[in-house]
């Protein structure tokens, strides 16, 4: 279970990106985070694994206070939280398999990393994850030779290497065409079915309604909606996206 309590983030003492946000996500839920551009979705997701330091508030994962964790403990917490990104964030010059293996770094002794060594089990596991996302044949190709959809699958394989209990996805399909978008979303859906909590920021409401169990909406850093996707009617929509907004899709 993930508890977000009074989470606030102020950038550079001026920009209030998150304003006292609280909600709780039970294990195995598919939670969509929606909101206008600049509403604080990315900030929220990154505060959960402390890629961004929250200004105040708490993130509690299965009873462990993430926000108070010291470096070593934070490392152990992070490896339970997988993350995928809008721009995939692969190391483009490295081969696919190296990118996937990087997901194992939280479990690897840093001294082994010095000589670029992973265990046999890790390599076998990496190939298995690549197989799962359907690009095992690309394992030894440089990452920049892959298409966008393939790169996002590598991103998923990398996150799965962490054997996560939570998967954070920051607009995972915003750079992909609709067909690819659905295939990526289906992988996330599978993860949810395996009991992994998925927290995914999304721009398109049709994707939200099709995949999410629950939606939270942010507006200027405030939590303005928390409920099931079906509850978002025209009125709610206008609350979230503003009066002039038009529904597309």
Ligand X SMILES: Nc1ncnc2c1ncn2[C@@H]1O[C@H](COP(=O)(O)OP(=O)(O)OP(=O)(O)O)[C@@H](O)[C@H]1O
Distances (CA, A) of 237 to 17, 41, 101, 149, 209: 21, 17, 41, 30, 13
The pattern of x and - marking residues 32 through 51 that bind another protein according to CB under 8 A reads -----------------x-x
Nearer to Mg ion, 10 or 141 (CB): 10
- Interaction between residue 138 and another protein (CB under 8 A): no
Quick one: which of 42, 49, 99, 162 contacts ligand X (CB under 6 A)? Answer: 42
**For residues 81 and 171, what is the distance between their CA atoms, to the nearest angstrom?**
16
Nearer to ligand X, 33 or 160 (CB): 33
* Angle 163-164-166 from CA coordinates, rounded to 5°: 165
CB of 41 to Mg ion, least distance (A): 5
Quick one: which of 13, 37, 116, 230 contacts ligand X (CB under 6 A)? Answer: 37
CB of 91 to another protein, least distance (A): 5
Q: What's the token pair of residue 78?
A: 């992070």
**For residues 145 and 137, what is the distance between their CA atoms, to the nearest angstrom?**
13
CB of 40 to ligand X, least distance (A): 4
Stretch that binds another protein, among 3-11, 12-20, 68-76, 132-140 (CB under 8 A): 68-76
CB of 103 to another protein, least distance (A): 5
The pattern of x and - marking residues 151 through 190 that bind another protein according to CB under 8 A reads ----x--xx-xx-----x----------------------
Spatial CA neighbour of 60 closest among 72, 47, 51: 47
Spatial CA neighbour of 153 closest among 91, 100, 207: 100
Spatial CA neighbour of 221 closest among 3, 24, 1, 6: 6
Helix 148-160 crosses helix 120-132 at what angle (to 10 degrees)?
Answer: 140
Stretch that binds Mg ion, among 24-32, 38-46, 113-121, 176-184 (CB under 5 A): 38-46
Q: What's the token pair of residue 189?
A: 């859906």
Residues that bind another protein (CB under 8 A): 49, 51, 68, 70-72, 75-79, 81-83, 85, 87-94, 98, 102-108, 110, 113-114, 116, 155, 158-159, 161-162, 168
Residues that bind Mg ion (CB under 5 A): 42
């Amino acid at each position: 279970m993930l508890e977000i309590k009074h989470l606030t983030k102020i950038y550079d003492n001026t920009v209030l990106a998150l304003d006292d946000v609280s909600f709780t996500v039970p294990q195995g839920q598919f939670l969509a985070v929606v909101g206008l551009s600049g509403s604080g979705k990315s900030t929220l997701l990154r505060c959960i694994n402390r890629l961004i330091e929250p200004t105040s508030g708490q993130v509690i994962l299965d009873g462990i206070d993430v926000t108070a964790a010291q470096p070593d403990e934070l490392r152990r917490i992070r490896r339970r939280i997988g993350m995928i990104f809008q721009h995939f964030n692969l190391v483009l010059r490295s081969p696919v398999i190296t990118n996937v293996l990087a997901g194992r770094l939280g479990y690897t002794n840093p001294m082994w990393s010095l000589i670029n060594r992973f265990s046999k089990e890790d390599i076998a596991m990496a190939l298995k994850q690549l197989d799962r996302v359907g690009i095992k044949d690309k394992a030894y190709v440089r990452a920049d030779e892959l298409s966008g959809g393939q790169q996002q699958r590598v991103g998923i394989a990398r996150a799965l290497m962490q054997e996560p209990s939570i998967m954070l996805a920051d607009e995972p399909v915003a750079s992909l065409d609709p067909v690819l978008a659905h295939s990526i979303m289906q992988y996330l859906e599978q993860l949810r079915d395996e009991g992994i909590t998925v927290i995914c920021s999304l721009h398109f409401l049709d994707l939200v309604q099709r995949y999410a169990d629950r939606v939270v909406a942010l507006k200027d850093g405030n939590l303005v909606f928390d409920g099931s996707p079906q509850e978002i009617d025209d009125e709610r929509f206008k609350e979230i996206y503003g009066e002039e907004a038009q529904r597309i899709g």
